[in-house]
Chains A and B, each alone.
Chain A
Amino acid sequence: MTNVNYFKDQFSTLQASDPNDLLSEIRKENFDTFSRSGLPTLRQEEWKYTNISSLFDKDYEFAADQEISPSLLSSLKEMRIKGHQDANELVFLNGRYIPSLSAVRSPESQLVVLPLEEAIKSKYKTLVALHLGQSSSYIKDGIHALNTSFIQGGLFLYVPKGQQSQYPVYIYHLSDAGQQHNLSQPRSLVYVESQAKFQLAETYKTLGTCESFTNEVMEIVVEADAFVEYYKIQNDGPNAHQTNTTHIRQMEKSHVHTVVLSLNGGMVRNNLNLVMDARGNETHLYGLSLLRGKTHVDNHTMIDNKMPDCYSNQLYKSVADDASTSIFSGRIIVQPDAQKTNAYQSSKNILLSEQASINAKPQLEIFADDVKCSHGCTVGQLDEEALYYLRARGIPKENAEVLLLHAFAADIIDQIKLEPLQKHTEKLINEHLSFS
């Protein structure tokens, strides 16, 4: 069972150390929610397939501030994405943004990077006050509230108007589960001003063999005519569990492009929310899960079309081998004002083993009459005819299967527009698939 007393103590200590500012108000409200609702269980429709509370039979603790050991540094080096010399590299250790480990390479005129605690005292404080915690009105469950109850060591990113910054941001999340079951709760707010272009990628690594739980929330505001690409690469150990929420608010005629790639890991839940808060937005969401072992990946997308003329397209693909589980749940809401919405969704899955499972759940809630929405879902096996054809040319069965899996994954990999990241993920996928 969740160690409620532990969180209560930690919460009191945190609030006492840092009283009466904006963050402590947000924390207070959310700790009430957390205390009331606890962690989500399978009885909640949104959590039907992912038993996150079962993980908390272990006593997770927040890491104490620690020295940066050589082993941490070498792990950090390992997880760096190729082409990093032309990127801003931001490091979270145990859920806290560490400026001293990070490298901001863009000039301040192109990108502002601040710890959240500093941002609320800076000229950006109104922006932060306005946008931090908006995701709480969409996700009211206890795990999201738990992150928000402990906002500390967070990150604020600001892209000024019209900046087409040539450098992407890579965020590396490092968790140290060497001594204890580690709970990391990264929190960030990204604000992309109008007509700016921004590319962001996040990746995760856990050290040590205790259990690790990363409970992340990132909120992104995309102003009018801005363009954001967001990439999430999950390839961590079987002891590394995750719930993360990426909450994106789109203003007029903005463009968002996301790719979520999940390879190895423990129990992983990805919430991706898109709120269409103005008309004429365009959104493309892609997902690829290539799962084996006992890895469990649950992708939840939600698009709330509040205003007219928005276009969204979703393509999520998964392959489940061994005893792995893949879930896709895609919710599309079309509010009464959101006429001329175009919303498309497709989920394509390959089941490779009797013990693996795949769940796909489209959910369309349409309250406007002049809209185009569609959804489709397939679950199948590798094409036997294609396998036979490849083998008849002398390609061994295992290699033929890998070729077909690569082919299945190819159109999602193509959606990674950031070239060094695309190469990086191709390499990861090659290594991942060659194990089987």
Chain B
Amino acid sequence: MLSIKNIHANVEGKEILKGINLEIKPGEVHAIMGPNGSGKSTLASVLAGREEYEVTQGEVLFSGKDLLELSIEDRAREGLFLAFQYPVEIPGVSTTNFIKAAVNEKRKYQGLEPLDAVSFLKMMKEKMAMVEIGQSLLSRSINEGFSGGEKKRNEIFQMAMLEPKLAILDETDSGLDIDALRIVANGINKLRTPDRSILLITHYQRLLDYIQPDYVHVLYKGRIVKSGTKELALELEEKGYDFITESIDQSANV
């Protein structure tokens, strides 16, 4: 599904990612954890194609295609979805029209006819129920005046509508209270399928109480320094990141 090989990336001339390797197979859920500033969100942005991020080395294959060669929109239409850490408010663009445009762009890319109004509405209703989002939010401008929880729910709703092969969830848990976290996590769990891969990027272990990952990786100073199963997340929760980072820093100083 996704194969990241030795990715190095700069932001404003500063190297943030220093050689990342990661393999994600269809249906797998991977969690990337790490302290602030370790490069987690940079990795998400590099995969989505954000233009300020310059990849200086390495390769990413997505379903066999060279991901880095694709435009932002083509990556999305190939089935990559990024749930934003900070979803953007866009006044004047209705959420429903936007999602319809996105769905139909993807269909066009796949050589399918655009959905007619009735089928689109039917699909909307189904997915709205799945992720517990109300009609009132969707008739408003994109994210305009939404609470933090509503914005994140809207991201998951878009994921449900776009049915990606790979979803990257960038700190989807941040800024959510327990109830909102539960709703969002339930939505994500309902979207797990044997083919769909998920990359969870998070600072805290608590999201992983709701969404059980197959693998957990610790990102530190632009590298994956430790990988394991979900037990690694529990160990991190108990001991903090220090127990890993200190040993890394020490060995670097030797």
Check if B50 is an interface residue, CB within 8 A of chain A. yes
Check if A36 is an interface residue, CB within 8 A of chain B. no
Are A408 and B92 within 8 A (Cβ)?
yes
Task: Please tell me which stretch of B99-107, B191-199, B212-220, B230-238 contacts chain A, meaning at least 4 of its Cβ atoms lie within 8 angstroms of it.
Answer: B99-107
Which residue in chain B gives the minimum CB-CB distance to A410?
Answer: B92
- What is the CB-to-nearest-CB distance from B42 to chain A, in angstroms, rounded to a whole number? 14
Are A403 and B98 within 8 A (Cβ)?
yes
CA distance A168 to B76 in the complex (A): 48
Quick one: which of A376-434 are within 8 Å of B by CB? 383, 385-386, 388-397, 399-400, 403-404, 406-408, 410-411
> Which residues does chain A contribute within 8 Å of B98, judged by CB atoms?
390, 393, 395, 403
- As a 0/1 sequence over residues 78 to 99 of chain B, the CB contacts with chain A under 8 angstroms (1 = contact) are 0000101001101111000011
Are A394 and B87 within 8 A (Cβ)?
no
Which residue in chain A gives the minimum CB-CB distance to B93?
Answer: A407
Check if B172 is an interface residue, CB within 8 A of chain A. no
Interface size counted on chain A using CB atoms at 8 A: 22
> Which residues does chain B contribute within 8 Å of A399, judged by CB atoms?
101, 105
Check if B243 is an interface residue, CB within 8 A of chain A. no
CA distance A385 to B73 in the complex (A): 14
Q: A386-B90, A397-B73, A404-B93 are in contact. Are A392 and B105 (CB under 8 A)?
A: no
> Which residues does chain B contribute within 8 Å of A397, judged by CB atoms?
71-73
Are A389 and B84 within 8 A (Cβ)?
yes
Q: A393-B158, A393-B162, A407-B91 are in contact. Are A388 and B72 (CB under 8 A)?
A: yes
Which residue in chain A gives the minimum CB-CB distance to B76?
Answer: A394
Which residue in chain A gives the minimum CB-CB distance to B107?
Answer: A394
Are B90 and A394 within 8 A (Cβ)?
no
Are B105 and A396 within 8 A (Cβ)?
yes
- What is the CB-to-nearest-CB distance from A405 to chain B, in angstroms, rounded to a whole number? 10
Are B109 and A394 within 8 A (Cβ)?
yes
Which residue in chain A gives the minimum CB-CB distance to B80?
Answer: A392
> Which residues does chain A contribute within 8 Å of B72, judged by CB atoms?
388, 391-392, 397
Are B82 and A392 within 8 A (Cβ)?
yes
> Which residues does chain B contribute within 8 Å of A391, judged by CB atoms?
49, 71-73, 76
Number of CB contacts from chain A to chain B under 8 A: 72
Check if B48 is an interface residue, CB within 8 A of chain A. yes
Q: A388-B50, A404-B93, A407-B93 are in contact. Are A394 and B88 (CB under 8 A)?
A: no
CA distance A410 to B141 in the complex (A): 12
Which residue in chain B gives the minimum CB-CB distance to A391?
Answer: B72
Check if B40 is an interface residue, CB within 8 A of chain A. no
Are B105 and A386 within 8 A (Cβ)?
no
Are A404 and B77 within 8 A (Cβ)?
no
Quick one: which of B96-139 are within 8 Å of A by CB? 98-99, 101-102, 105-106, 109
CA distance A399 to B101 in the complex (A): 9
**Which of A385, A394, A403, A410 contacts B106, CB < 8 Å?**
A394
CA distance A388 to B90 in the complex (A): 11
CA distance A72 to B104 in the complex (A): 42
- What is the CB-to-nearest-CB distance from A406 to chain B, in angstroms, rounded to a whole number? 7
Are A393 and B102 within 8 A (Cβ)?
yes
Which residue in chain A gives the minimum CB-CB distance to B51?
Answer: A388
**Which of B51, B71, B76 contacts A393, CB < 8 Å?**
B76
Which residue in chain A gives the minimum CB-CB distance to B90?
Answer: A386
Which residue in chain A gives the minimum CB-CB distance to B74?
Answer: A394
Q: A394-B73, A394-B102, A395-B105 are in contact. Are A389 and B90 (CB under 8 A)?
A: yes
CA distance A411 to B109 in the complex (A): 32
Are B162 and A403 within 8 A (Cβ)?
no
CA distance A130 to B118 in the complex (A): 61
Which residue in chain A gives the minimum CB-CB distance to B48?
Answer: A392
CA distance A408 to B105 in the complex (A): 22
CA distance A355 to B12 in the complex (A): 27
Q: A388-B72, A391-B72, A394-B109 are in contact. Are A406 and B92 (CB under 8 A)?
A: yes
CA distance A140 to B36 in the complex (A): 66
**Which of A389, A403, A406, A411 contacts B88, CB < 8 Å?**
A389
> Which residues does chain A contribute within 8 Å of B102, judged by CB atoms?
393-395
Which residue in chain A gives the minimum CB-CB distance to B72?
Answer: A391
From A385, A388, A399, A410, residue with most partner B Cβ within 10 Å? A388
**Which of A396, A403, A407, A408 contacts B73, CB < 8 Å?**
A396
Are A407 and B105 within 8 A (Cβ)?
no
**Which of A388, A396, A403, A411 contacts B93, CB < 8 Å?**
A403
CA distance A406 to B162 in the complex (A): 24
> Which residues does chain B contribute within 8 Å of A392, judged by CB atoms?
48-49, 72-73, 75-76, 82, 84
CA distance A395 to B101 in the complex (A): 7
> Which residues does chain B contribute within 8 Å of A389, judged by CB atoms?
84, 87-88, 90, 142
Can you list 6 A-B pairs, Cβ within 8 angstroms, ordered by A? A392-B73, A393-B162, A394-B77, A394-B162, A396-B73, A397-B71
Residues of A within 8 A of B (CB): 383, 385-386, 388-397, 399-400, 403-404, 406-408, 410-411
Contacts A389-B88, A390-B93, A410-B92 supplied; 17 other A-B pairs, CB < 8 Å: A385-B88, A386-B88, A386-B90, A389-B90, A391-B71, A392-B76, A393-B102, A393-B162, A394-B77, A394-B102, A394-B109, A395-B98, A395-B102, A397-B73, A400-B73, A404-B90, A404-B93
